[in-house]
């Protein structure tokens, strides 16, 4: 085998993790000429043509077959960056126009034409961020003892200008400042890869390597990331390696027959989403997907990916009725090809980029999702705690007089809280389709809803686990999220909602400043109950510890009435407090035998320090 054939060999083996350098359209300059190479994988095609602005769309250029690949190369004194192109796939007398699966830039929508793009043309200036990210990864231990507080957002509905979506460059002017002012550590974008249907929120992707052209060019997207990094904000993107839509110009039956998708009916199609599942056991598909993740990190400078719908990948009976799925060779419902793919993905990314964050959105019971591959785990860094979210939102939706019946929503999560490295999500999925916004989940007046929201956010920010919250929660938007319109920014004209955002700003800053709230997020030594079973009072109290043994004490009352709790002896003498409006000026009093008690108003919480130290924060 010669050196030129080696990348192709690895591509077919499923271990070419930079296959975007082999396939797709790559533009290079040698001396005074631009060399443009096109390469596409279409093993079942009879013939493949390139149609392009360069030659005229009425003059298809035949590509030559190289085993399972089709190639075309030419040189010109002109760059041709920005020219549109497609592949024509001919099979059994049928002709299909396809976008390039490896296109770095795509017209998207119903057209799907790919666009020639020089991926080396952007000049980055985020070196300091990348160096600090690397140093931080070296300093932190395997428990991720760093603060992570993520602002999740959908680019198309964050903010609009006269009804039009903001471009990447317009977002670059305002988003870094906004997120920095609110003390977030990261932003997470719902999928940004090119997707035809806006109503999918980006989760039905046709061009995996191309940032959505709805908001600008790939260089514009890189500019947004560059500016966020310069402001000290990490960037995470949602990534969808589970399934893809059936738009004709996309991956669907790419060469006239199932190629990127599974062949068998037991695995091929998602009834839930009407999409096709990737064939994760096929080498070329593994190379395509892992290379795509590598491209996001290496070429787009993102800091983490959140892998969507992991459960749909690893469970053979996901979205299947009895008789519609075939067990694996061990007789279980685990997709062995999927778990093999995920371990290969995480191993490849971490070996190249040890400071990258790999996050799983997984709702099953497989276990060891965030355990190292060498210990039999899948190798993710973090996993969304869907159980915590579902239980807690259900708890908030109940009238306080009945919350004692659901008290386990507050104390049960710690029973499994250290089995994985968790993120506590208040995500986009939980504020749509009749589930109500976070602030509107509670019952009562607007003042009671906002008080519940503040108490709930205090619980999220002080409970073990990293944090994620969806846009609009910071000013307590009441309306559910609507992907087709912007957030209700006018609500900031109302003092109560403006004050709520100021509360979030203060809470986020407090979180950043206190190592007790994040150094031992994934270690049982970082948490201790003070009161866990006060169901009749709808209250909980616990301690959070730092690596050096310092601790904070958290008391939260989720009831609709005032509640009293005896203070532990070590907290006697804690007198000073920070009041945001629903805490008494003096919350302590002496009871019988000199014992000290704390008195909490309805829907309120407080964080204390031992002894006479200043109480750092409270709702």
pLDDT of residue 588: 80
Taking the domains of the chain in order of start, what are their residue ranges? 3-115, 147-446+468-504, 524-618
- Which residue among the candidates 337, 361, 452, 521 is catalytic per the annotation? 361
Q: What is the CA radius of gyration of the chain?
A: 26
Residue 549 CA: distances (Å) to CA of 483, 543, 572: 45, 11, 19
pLDDT at 314 exceeding the cut of 70 = yes
pLDDT of residue 180: 98
Where do we find the tokens 């037991």? 266
CB of 211 closer than 8 Å to CB of 221: yes
DSSP state of 479: S
pLDDT of residue 579: 37
Annotation marks residue 308 as catalytic = yes
Assign 586 a pLDDT band (cuts: 50, 70, 90): confident
Does residue 455 or residue 142 have the better pLDDT?
455
pLDDT of residue 614: 42
Mean pLDDT of 164-188: 98
- Residue 173 neighbours by CB distance under 10 Å: 12
Map residue 468 onto helix, strand or coil.
strand
- Residue 1 neighbours by CB distance under 10 Å: 7
pLDDT of residue 582: 64
3-115: CATH, from 3.40.50.300, 3.30.70.1350, 2.60.40.10, 3.20.20.80: 2.60.40.10
CB of 453 closer than 8 Å to CB of 442: yes
Mean pLDDT of 406-410: 97
pLDDT of residue 144: 82
pLDDT at 157 exceeding the cut of 90 = yes
Over the chain, what is the mean pLDDT? 93
Residues 431-459 pLDDT 10s: 999 999 999 999 999 999 999 999 999 99
pLDDT of residue 347: 97
Residues 330-369 pLDDT 10s: 999 999 999 999 999 999 999 999 999 999 999 888 999 9
Q: How many residues does the chain have?
A: 619
Mean pLDDT of 15-44: 95
Q: Evaluate whether 147-446+468-504 and 524-618 have a shared fold.
A: no
pLDDT at 143 exceeding the cut of 80 = no
- Report the share of the chain in percent with pLDDT over 90: 86
pLDDT of residue 141: 58
Least confident of 103-117, 144-158, 602-616: 602-616
Q: Which residues contact 261 (CB under 8 A, 6 or more apart)?
A: 244, 251, 252, 253, 268, 269, 276, 277, 278, 279
Mean pLDDT of 472-497: 97
Mean pLDDT of 587-600: 83
pLDDT of residue 615: 46
524-618: CATH, from 2.60.40.1180, 3.20.20.60, 1.10.3470.10, 3.90.1720.10: 2.60.40.1180
- Report the share of the chain in percent with pLDDT over 70: 95
Fold category of 147-446+468-504 in CATH: TIM Barrel (3.20.20)
Least confident of 117-121, 131-135, 317-321: 131-135
Torsion of CA 325, 330, 331, 336, to 10 degrees: -30
pLDDT of residue 410: 97
pLDDT of residue 581: 43
Mean pLDDT of 466-478: 98
Helix (H) or strand (E) run with residue 399 in it: none
Least confident of 120-134, 485-499, 604-618: 604-618
Mean pLDDT of 592-605: 87
pLDDT of residue 315: 96
With helix as H, strand as E and coil as C, how does 71-136 read?
Answer: EEEEEECCCCCCCEEEEEEEECCEEEEECCCCCCCECCCCCCCEECCCCCCCCCCCHHHHHHHHHH
pLDDT of residue 574: 57
- Which residue among the candidates 253, 308, 516, 534 is catalytic per the annotation? 308
pLDDT of residue 618: 52
């Amino acid at each position: 085998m010669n050196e030129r054939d080696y990348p192709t060999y690895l591509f077919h083996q499923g271990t070419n993790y930079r296959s975007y350098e082999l396939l797709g359209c790559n533009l290079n300059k040698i001396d005074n000429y631009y060399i443009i190479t096109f390469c596409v994988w279409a093993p079942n095609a009879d013939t493949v043509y390139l149609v392009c602005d360069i030659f005229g769309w009425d003059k298809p250029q035949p590509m030559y077959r190289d085993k399972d690949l089709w190639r075309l190369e030419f040189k010109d004194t002109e760059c041709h960056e920005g020219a549109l192109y497609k592949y024509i796939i001919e099979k059994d007398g049928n002709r299909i126009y396809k976008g390039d699966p490896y296109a770095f830039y795509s017209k998207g929508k119903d057209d799907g034409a790919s666009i020639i793009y020089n991926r080396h043309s952007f000049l980055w200036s985020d070196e300091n961020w990348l160096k600090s990210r690397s140093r931080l990864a070296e300093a932190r231990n395997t428990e991720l003892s760093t603060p992570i507080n993520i602002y999740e957002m959908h680019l198309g509905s964050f903010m609009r200008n006269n009804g039009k979506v903001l471009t990447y460059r317009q977002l670059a002017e305002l988003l870094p400042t906004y997120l920095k002012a609110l003390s977030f550590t990261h932003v997470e974008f719902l999928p940004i890869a090119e997707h035809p249907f806006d109503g999918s929120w980006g989760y039905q992707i046709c061009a995996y390597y191309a940032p959505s052209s709805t908001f600008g060019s790939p260089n514009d997207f890189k500019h947004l990331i560059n500016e966020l990094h310069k402001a000290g904000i990490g960037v995470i993107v949602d990534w969808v390696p589970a399934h893809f839509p059936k738009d004709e110009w996309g991956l669907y039956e790419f060469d006239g027959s199932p190629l990127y998708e599974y062949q068998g009916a037991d695995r091929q199609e998602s009834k839930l989403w009407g999409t096709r599942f990737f064939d994760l056991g096929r080498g070329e598909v593994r190379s395509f997907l892992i290379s795509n993740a590598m491209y996001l990190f290496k070429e787009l400078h993102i800091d983490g990916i959140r892998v969507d719908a992991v459960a749909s990948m690893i469970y053979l009976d996901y979205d299947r009725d009895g008789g519609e799925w075939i067990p694996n060779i061990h007789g279980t419902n685990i997709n062995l090809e999927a778990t093999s793919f995920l371990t290969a993905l995480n191993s490849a990314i971490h070996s190249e980029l040890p400071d990258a964050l790999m996050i799983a959105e997984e709702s099953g019971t497989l276990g060891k999702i965030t355990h190292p591959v060498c210990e039999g785990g899948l190798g993710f860094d973090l996993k969304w705690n869907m159980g915590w979210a579902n239980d807690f939102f259900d708890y908030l939706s109940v009238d306080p007089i009945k919350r004692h019946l659901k008290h386990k929503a507050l104390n049960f999560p710690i029973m499994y809280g250290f089995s994985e490295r968790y993120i506590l999500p208040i995500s986009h999925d939980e504020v749509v389709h009749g589930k109500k916004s976070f602030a509107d989940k509670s019952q009562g007046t607007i003042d009671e809803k906002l008080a519940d929201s503040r108490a709930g956010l205090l619980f999220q920010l002080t409970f073990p686990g990293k944090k994620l919250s969806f846009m609009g929660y910071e000013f307590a938007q009441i309306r559910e999220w609507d992907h087709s319109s912007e957030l209700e920014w006018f609500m900031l004209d109302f003092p109560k909602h403006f004050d709520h955002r100021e509360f979030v700003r203060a809470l986020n800053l407090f979180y950043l400043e206190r190592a007790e709230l994040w150094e031992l997020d994934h270690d049982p030594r970082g948490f201790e109950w003070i009161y866990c079973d006060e169901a009749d009072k709808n209250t909980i109290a616990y301690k959070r510890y730092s690596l050096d043994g310092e601790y904070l004490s958290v008391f939260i009352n989720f009831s609709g009435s005032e509640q009293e709790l005896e203070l532990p002896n070590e907290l006697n003498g804690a007198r000073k407090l920070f009041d945001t409006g629903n805490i008494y000026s003096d919350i302590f009093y002496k009871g019988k035998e000199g014992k000290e008690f704390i008195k909490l108003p309805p829907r309120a919480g407080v964080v204390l320090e031992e002894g006479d130290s200043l109480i750092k924060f409270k709702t």
